[in-house]
Amino acid sequence: MGLQNREKGLNEQCDNWDVQTANVGISTLIQLCQVPYSGQLLKVVSSAYSMSGSPIVGLQIQRFIAGSGATTIPLNGSSLLTMTAFSTSGILTHAITGVGTSLVQLQSGDQLQAVTSGANTAATYAFNSIIQCLQDFKTQYGLFSGN
Amino acid sequence: MALVNRDKDASEQRYVFGDANTVVGISTIQYGFIAPCAGQLLQVAQAAFGLSGSPTIGVQVQRFVVGSGLTTIPLNGSSLLTVTAFSTSGMQTQVLPAAGATLVQLLKGDSVQLITSTANTAATYQFEMVFQVLQDIKSDYGV
């Protein structure tokens, strides 16, 4: 019988989404991931290069529900991350709501995003988002193995 | 018992990180991925589209250590890759030190990058980097 998600160790149930964005300006929306399955967001780390100013980055989820429209769910509250350069601090970890809380529970089709604020020009950002699949049998956008 | 990384065959311990960059100029750094845990870089493959000139591309690792600062580690030496268009050569692979060599051993938080040199304008690059996790039980940035 094929290996299923529930038979994996917790760390093996995680997927890593890797995104780079160049020339990020002020109040820019950066798309990090379109969630393929029910899961939870465990961690987001980022690094910044060639910075000008001190940009602030927050995380949010946009969820679309037919009939209701899109809802934006901020994940950081007031704990937005002030970016420093990779050469100054290495990778930075975003403070997000704790594992298991409802805010970090994701659904298939959710859009995970970062939004910048504060003064910032000509920076390059790299983001890595770790999402744990919580399904016994993993699906990708509704596709079950064998589809 | 739940499946962990050490239970996998070497080929199943690998992860592919990739991206595409447009309008890549001369001496431009393209950021590949941030190593999520200890591992080794096995392969970098790339394809180029809409080339002008003959750019060369090298692979480097930037490592930040608290107290020491930033170190840049070039992986190709003098064997930089001269890029040709996908329509000419298809996908190309970088010449890296062999698996197991110290240079390709990555630590959590290392930034793997491509850097262009010589004449090149208006190119689009697609690159994929193959990373093998060397931990018995895989972690992602400590989780």
CATH number, domain containing residue A56? 2.60.120
- Give residue A58's pLDDT: 92
Compute the nearest-CA separation of B8 from chain A (Å): 11
Chain B residue whose CA is closest to A93: B141
Domain that holds residue B104: 12-133
- The set of residues, in sequence order, having a beta carbon less than 8 Å from that of A66 and lying 6+ positions away, is none
Is A10 within the bounds of a domain? no
**3-class secondary structure, B128:** strand
Residue A124: inside a domain, yes or no?
Answer: yes
Q: Mind telling me how many Å the CA of A57 is from chain B's nearest CA?
A: 18
Indicate whether B30 belongs to any domain: yes
Radius of gyration of the CA atoms of chain A, in A: 16
pLDDT at B78: 75
Interface contact B21-A22, CB threshold 8 A: yes
Q: pLDDT tens digit string along B107-140? A: 999 999 998 887 766 568 889 999 999 999 999 9
Chain A residues in contact with B142 by the CB 8 A cut-off are 43
Question: Quick one: pLDDT at residue A127?
Answer: 93
Q: Which of B3, B29, B139 sits opposite A8 (nearest CB)?
A: B3
The answer, for B14 touching chain A at a CB cutoff of 8 Å, is: no
Does pLDDT of B32 surpass 80? yes
Provide the residue range defining the domain that includes A50: 16-132
Q: Which residue of A has its CA nearest to B30?
A: A20
Question: Shortest CA distance to A92 belongs to which of B57, B109, B95?
Answer: B109
Residue with the larger pLDDT of the pair A78 and B117:
B117
pLDDT over 80 at B11, yes or no:
yes
pLDDT in tens, B36-66: 999 999 999 999 888 888 888 999 999 999 9
| Residue A11 maps to a domain | no
Give the pLDDT of residue B15. Answer: 94
* Of residues A17, A38, A43, A34, the one with CA closest to residue A133: A38
Is B33's CB within 8 Å of A126's CB?
yes
Question: If you average pLDDT over every residue of chain B, what do you get?
Answer: 90
pLDDT of residue A62: 96
Q: Is residue B56 included in any domain, yes or no?
A: yes
**Bridge partner residues of B42 (DSSP):** none
Q: Tens digits of per-residue pLDDT, B56-95?
A: 899 999 999 999 999 999 998 778 898 888 999 999 999 9
pLDDT at A67 over 70: yes
Looking at chain A, the whole-number percentage of residues with pLDDT higher than 90 is 61
CB pair distance less than 8 Å for B137 and A9: yes
CB contact under 8 Å between A43 and B29, yes or no, is no
How close B69 gets to chain A, by Cα (Å)? 7
Counting the structural domains of chain A, the total is 1
CB environment A49-72: b (16+ within 10 A), e (fewer): bebeeebbbbbbbbbeeeeeeeee
Query: Does the beta-carbon distance from B64 to A11 stay under 8 Å?
Result: no
CATH number at residue B115: 2.60.120
- The region, left, alpha or beta by phi > 0 then psi within -120 to 50, assigned to residue B116 is beta
Can you give the pLDDT at residue A145?
61
Question: CA of A94: which chain B residue's CA is closest?
Answer: B141
Query: Touching check for B15 and chain A: CB below 8 Å?
Result: yes
